[in-house]
Structure 1
Amino acid sequence: MAAVTSISPHPSSSPLYHKFHPSPLAYNLNSSVEPNSSCFATKAIQLSNRRKSSSIYRAIRIQNAATKQAKTPAEEDWKIKRQVLLEKKVRSVDVKEALRLQTENRFIILDVRPEAEFKEAHPAGAINVQIYRLIKEWTAWDIARRAAFAFFGIFSGTEENPEFLQSVESKLPKDAKIIVACSAGGTTKPSQNLPEGQQSRSLIAAYLLVLNGYTNVFHLEGGIYNWFKEGLPTESEE
């Protein structure tokens, strides 16, 4: 008698199979829904990628914010001074124009360099009121400041001249026509490398003058350096 072989039904005919393995026909090929086993994995990967991208983006923003150089107190201070100079319409003139204004319109050249530099050579007819002076006192703080200057090879450290305005007022009335000059001049004009211009002793002096009631204040562009370079009239007190 031939043996009867027991044939188990195909797994797909089992109700339990269909419960846990839906038929591929149940999915719309145009649908974004995927079979259960891959659906969760795909969604998890997408969510993880989004989270990673978001985290990386936030990290980059934080890093950029941290590495962006903030303005120093001196830069912020100059920004305020520059704005006042622009509002008060302090004009910059080159050295040849300054000479013309001096000879034809009775402008006074106010040289704000240190006294020693002024005595060595200066524009003819200029007067000197130094905006910075040599450190005079010998307190512990002043000695420390001298040491700090000496560390950088500067053995004639300077400090703000607290008598600057008082000295100017003793020599020039508030309506005097003034061209303020220092060594290099500086500028209020913006450039690609210097969007706020470049501060200088003469511009700081001009700022103090217009802030204290002087109404005819000009600024020497290029400074005393350009005056000497152009061979304009000079004199010395040595």
Structure 2
Amino acid sequence: MLRATGTYWALGAAGASFVGTFFVIPRFKDSFKEDLEWRDIYEALSSTGVKQLEPKEAYAKCKSGSAVLLDVRLGNKYEASHAACSLSTPLYNPIQKWDLPSTLRRAGFAFFGIYGTELNTNFGDDVLSRVPKGKQLVVMCENGGSLENKSGTKYGFQSRSLKAVYFLQQAGFKNISYVSGGIAEWRREQLPMAQGPEDPAAVPGLSSSSSSRDEDDDDDISGGFRVGGLRLPQLASVFSR
């Protein structure tokens, strides 16, 4: 009896999976797509040229305070382990809504064993609220990606750091590069790592009151920067992609 019940449950689950995969999910396939495809981002970045930095060079810049090292991975990954002098502003966040398309997105990601995320549409503004436009930015993700075409590729190797560079350019930042090999290469080269929430005070040349103002703006900022009349808080714990 128990064996028969288990068989029915297995058949039912297989049937539900089949229906969902081939009939329900395709009806909402547009909800799995981002508004901007990687091909478009690749072509935009290729036309402007984006410099990649080796991890040691990126570390030297963030240690000296000449650049801000920006980690765009999920917040929980950042808290688990990150470059010692980096700030966290995730490019992706966990899926927030529970409507049918969002639930299907979760199910679709789960089917492939992937954590369900969605693009952080406020990413550019989030960075602008913390880093002056005139500051050099070095972006880091898990593996870095590349705009070079190798092994027959046509559009390089996409990554979150390259996508982040594109959105930062759209937000008005000019001096942006990314870490070749990402945090994975950083670890392989045994550069300093840290754990837990970010500490902006640990980033040379950048305080928690940094603003979206250009560095050559001569207004008095001794009282700290406010956006929309609110003082910007320190990000203690963020979850994202």
* In structure 2, C-alpha distance between the alignment counterparts of 1:208 and 1:148, rounded to whole Å: 26
Check 1:165–1:96 CA distance in 2 against 1; reply closer, same or farther (3 A cut): same
Alignment of 1:96-175 (within 5 A): 96-104=56-64, 106-154=66-114, 156-175=115-134
Partner of 1:227: 186
Question: Is residue 215 of structure 1 aligned with residue 215 of structure 2?
Answer: no
Higher gyration radius (CA)? 1
Structure 2 counterparts to residues 22-33 of structure 1, below 5 A: none
Higher helix proportion, which one? Answer: 1
Displacement of 1:176 after TM fit? 1.3
Residue 188, structure 1, aligned to residue 147, structure 2: yes
Matched length: 164
Q: Could you list the per-position Cα deviations for residues 49-86 of structure 1 after superposition, in whole angstroms to 9, with x for gaps in the alignment? A: xxxxxxxxxxxxxxxxxxxxxxxx98x93233223223
Letter in 2 for 1:182: C
Question: Which residue identity lines up with residue 235 of structure 1 in the other structure?
Answer: A
Question: C-alpha separation between the residues in 1 aligned to 2:170 and 2:82?
Answer: 26
Structure 1, unaligned runs of 5 or more: 1-72
2:12 counterpart residue number:
none
| Counterpart selection for 1:93 from 53, 61, 66 | 53
Higher relative contact order (CA 8 A, sep 6+): 2
CA displacement 1:136-155 (0-9 Å, x = unmatched): 1111221111111121223x
SS of the counterpart of 1:218? strand
> Is contact 2:128-2:171 (8 Å) kept?
no
Tell me the amino acid that sits aligned with residue 179 of structure 1: V
Q: Read off the aligned partner of 1:213 and give its amino acid letter.
A: G
Determine if contact 2:63/2:85 at 8 Å carries over to the other structure: no
CA distance in 2, matches of 1:181, 1:144: 30
C-alpha distance 209-79 of structure 1, shift in aligned 2 (>3 A): same
Q: Could you state the TM-score of these two structures normalised by the residue count of structure 2?
A: 0.64
Instruction: State the Cα RMSD in Å.
Output: 1.9
Percent identity between the two aligned chains: 34
Q: Which segments of 5 or more consecutive residues in structure 2 lack a partner in the other structure?
A: 1-32, 198-241
- 1:237 pairs with 2:211: no
TM-score (norm 1): 0.64
Runs of 4+ in 1 over 6 A off after TM superposition: none
Q: CA deviation at 1:195?
A: 3.2
> Counterpart of 1:206 in structure 2: which amino acid?
V
1:127-182 residue CA offsets vs partner (Å, 9 max, x unmatched)? 1111111111111221111111121223x311111221121111111111100110
